Amino acid sequence: MESPLKSQVQWKTSDGLVPYPQAVAEMEARVAAITDGTAGELVWLLEHPPIYTAGTSAQESDLLDARFLVYRTGRGGQFTYHGPGQRVGYAMLDLKHRKPDVRAYVCDLEQWLIETLKQLGVKGERRRGRVGIWVVRGEREDKIAALGVRIKRWVTFHGVALNVAPDLSHFSGIVPCGVRAHGVTSIADLGIDVSMAEVDIALKGSFQKIFG
């Protein structure tokens, strides 16, 4: 039987830049509330000030220049950058009432990004052995979106980060997700002019298609 939670996903969009510790604290609180049944699922769209975050697999050698604050976090993955012009989507979903399969959930997050990019005129692709979403640019491939997941008692948090129009030079302080052979790009860097509001519309529509 389909869970009623599927039709009750709440969306929250924050204006301005949300400090990373505040976001983590709010996610933790919401995940606890979802777990004990006092709150429904939530997808939170926001931007952070310029920061680096280190996932559970981060290698210290991948932190090249700590020009911004570095936060150690419980999500999976390695080093990543967050900053203005990047749309972060934190998904707090109850997989017990969906599909309790971590691999399938990560695949769905990837497809969410691919479908969103498609709506915005960008062909995003998966690559075996490389986390995130990639675009082919002639002879090279660049990363346009990242994802990192943490799951506590089958409730998810953290999520995805889509490069809309960030300062790409900020990525040079790290080896993004441990991948040295490829670069990073953004929707703006590809020559496509979209507003964050248009990105949010695409994210919401694609989420509905993938997650119901």
**Bridge partners of residue 156, in order along the sequence:** 151
Q: Where are the domains of the chain?
A: 4-211
Band the pLDDT of 108: cuts 50, 70, 90.
very high
Q: Active-site residues: which are they?
A: 177
CB 75 within 8 A of CB 174: no
Q: Which residue has the higher pLDDT, 140 or 191?
A: 191
What is the average pLDDT score of the chain? 93
| Most confident among 24-33, 55-64, 65-74 (mean pLDDT) | 24-33
Mean pLDDT calculated for residue range 117-122: 98
Parallel, antiparallel, or unpaired for β 140-152 and 155-163? Answer: antiparallel
Of the listed ranges 108-122, 163-177, 183-197, the least confidently predicted one is: 163-177
Does the pLDDT value for residue 70 go beyond 50? Answer: yes
Q: Is 97 exposed, middle or buried (0-12, 13-18, 19+ CB in 10 A)?
A: middle
What is the helix, strand, coil percentage profile of the chain, to 5? 35, 35, 35
Q: What is the rounded distance in angstroms from the CA atom of residue 98 to the CA atom of residue 167?
A: 37
Superfamily classification of domain 4-211: Bira Bifunctional Protein; Domain 2 (3.30.930.10)
